[in-house]
C-alpha cells in the first residue's frame, strides 16, 4: 500500500486458527477498522467455511449452539462450557465420503469464538480430520478447515462484496470442489 502513496498499517478484522486456510478481511485505515469491527459484531459479514469431519454425519443440516470457554487443563484448547461465551455454528452436509469415513460440511458462523468450528464438531462426536488438538484423525497434516467465502455489503457504495478463497494445500485436502461454487 505504500507504493501508491498510502502510509497505512493494515489491521485484520478477524483471525483464522493456526493451520486454517482461507479468506481474512483487512482494513486499510482506522475508519474502516471501526466500521468493519461493528459490521462483524452486528453479523453483517457472512463467513463460510468448508470442513472435513471424521465419521458420517447423518443430519443433513443443523445448528450447533453450545457455549465455548477455555479448557483449564490445556493452555491452548477450548471446550464446550456452561460458563463459556455463546457460540453458534450452522452447518450443511455437502457430501458423505463413506469410503473415507469423512463428511464434507459447509459451516456459517453467527459468532466467532476461538476454535469454534473445531470445538463444536468435536463436541458432537465428529472432530475435524487432521485436528490433533481436538482428537481428529491423522488423515491430513493439518485440520481440514478452510475459510472459503466472505460476503458483506460495502459500507459506502452499498455494493455486495463476495470474496472467494481458492485452496492452496499441496497435496490437496479438498478434492473436486470449486470454491467459487460455494
Look at residue 7 in the predicted model and tell me its pLDDT. Answer: 58
Q: Establish if 174 belongs to a structural domain.
A: no
Q: What is the DSSP string of 123-167?
A: HTT-PBTT-GGGT--SSSSS--EEEEEEEEE-TTT--EEEEE---
Mean of pLDDT values over 106-126 = 96
Does residue 154 sit within a domain?
Answer: yes
Residue 30's pLDDT band, with cuts at 50, 70 and 90, is very high
Give catalytic status of residue 17 as yes or no.
yes
Q: Choose, from 17, 71, 101, 110, the residue flagged as catalytic.
A: 17
Q: Residue 35: which residues within 8 A CB-CB, separation 6 or more?
A: 27, 155
Cell of 167: 485452496
* Segment 150-170 mean pLDDT: 94
Q: What is the pLDDT, as a whole number, of residue 181?
A: 86
The answer as to whether 175 is a domain residue is no
Domain around 122:
46-166
Domain total in the chain: 1
CATH code for the domain in which residue 96 is found? 3.30.2350.10
DSSP-based three-state secondary structure for 70: strand
pLDDT of residue 2: 55
Average pLDDT, the chain: 93
Residue at 16 is within a domain? no
Residue 118 lies in a domain: yes
Q: Answer whether residue 58 is part of any domain.
A: yes
CA–CA distance, 86 with 108 (Å, rounded to integer): 15
Give domain status of residue 123, yes or no: yes
Amino acid at each position: 500500500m505504500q507504493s501508491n502513496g498510502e502510509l497505512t498499517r493494515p489491521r485484520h478484522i478477524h483471525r483464522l486458527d493456526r493451520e486454517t486456510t482461507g479468506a481474512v478481511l483487512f482494513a486499510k485505515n482506522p475508519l474502516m477498522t471501526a466500521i468493519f469491527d461493528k459490521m462483524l459484531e452486528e453479523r453483517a459479514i457472512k463467513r463460510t467455511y468448508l470442513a472435513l469431519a471424521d465419521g458420517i454425519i447423518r443430519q443433513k443440516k443443523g445448528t450447533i449452539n453450545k457455549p465455548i470457554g477455555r479448557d483449564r487443563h490445556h493452555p491452548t484448547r477450548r471446550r464446550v462450557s456452561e460458563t463459556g461465551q455463546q457460540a453458534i455454528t450452522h452447518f450443511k452436509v455437502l457430501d458423505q465420503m463413506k469410503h473415507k469415513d469423512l463428511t464434507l460440511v459447509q459451516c456459517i458462523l453467527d459468532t466467532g469464538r476461538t476454535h469454534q468450528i473445531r470445538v463444536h464438531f468435536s463436541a458432537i462426536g465428529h472432530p475435524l480430520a487432521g485436528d490433533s488438538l481436538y482428537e481428529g484423525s491423522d488423515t491430513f497434516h493439518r485440520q481440514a478447515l478452510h475459510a472459503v467465502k466472505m460476503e458483506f455489503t460495502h459500507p459506502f457504495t452499498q455494493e455486495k462484496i463476495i470474496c472467494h478463497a481458492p485452496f492452496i494445500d499441496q497435496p490437496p485436502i479438498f478434492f473436486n470442489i470449486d470454491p467459487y461454487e460455494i
